[in-house]
Structure 1
């Protein structure tokens, strides 16, 4: 069953840290089956606090998503995301 990692960026703190993060993410994808479904496209807030943008990544399973997120390569990149912004991130199981 598919699974999705969803990131919502609430605020940018340091754009240079986000630029480093963006440069490291492609290497963190290697060896992981994943498809970006949303990447900072146009959006309209319908409810809740405003966000700056959203990313939705599809994985074949919850375990595949966890393996990518907790991989050393992604966690190394994520340190720059943490330093450069405030995000919310969560993993959710999809439907067939």
Structure 2
């Protein structure tokens, strides 16, 4: 079942660290079946606290999403993201469109 990684950027603390993260995170895609669906595009807050932006990435399964997140390449990038800003990040499993 398709799974999604959702990253919500609450606040930037170090733009330079986030620039390093962006390059390393792009490189960390290698060898993983992922599809970026939204990358800090136009954003409209409808409810709740406003965020600076969001990213949504699709994976074939939860296991593949977790494998990407836990990979050495992404973990190296992650250190820069955590130094650069405050985020909420979660994995969520999609639904079977035929059953919905």
**Aligned with 2:56: secondary structure?**
strand
Match of 2:19 in 1: 19
Structure 2 distance, partners of 1:94, 1:62, is: 9
Unaligned runs of 5+ in 2: none
CA deviation map 1:58-77 (0-9, x unaligned): 00000000000011100000
TM-score, normalised via structure 1 length:
0.98
Looking at structure 1, the residues matched to 43 and 83 of structure 2 have their Cα atoms a distance apart, in angstroms, of 25
**1:31-83 alpha-carbon deviations (Å, 9 max, x no partner):** 00000001111111111111000000000000000000011100000100000
Q: CA RMSD in A?
A: 0.6
- C-alpha distance in structure 2 between counterparts of 1:63 and 1:38, whole Å: 21
- Structure 1, unmatched stretches of 5+, are none
Match of 2:42 in 1: 42
Identify the residue that residue 63 of structure 2 maps to in structure 1.
63
Alpha-carbon separation, structure 1, partners of 2:22 and 2:57: 15
TM-score normalised by structure 2 residue count: 0.94
- Radius of gyration: which is bigger? 2
For 1:19 and 1:37, locate their aligned partners in 2 and report how far apart those are by CA, in whole Å.
Answer: 20
Q: Which runs of 4+ in 1 moved over 6 A?
A: none
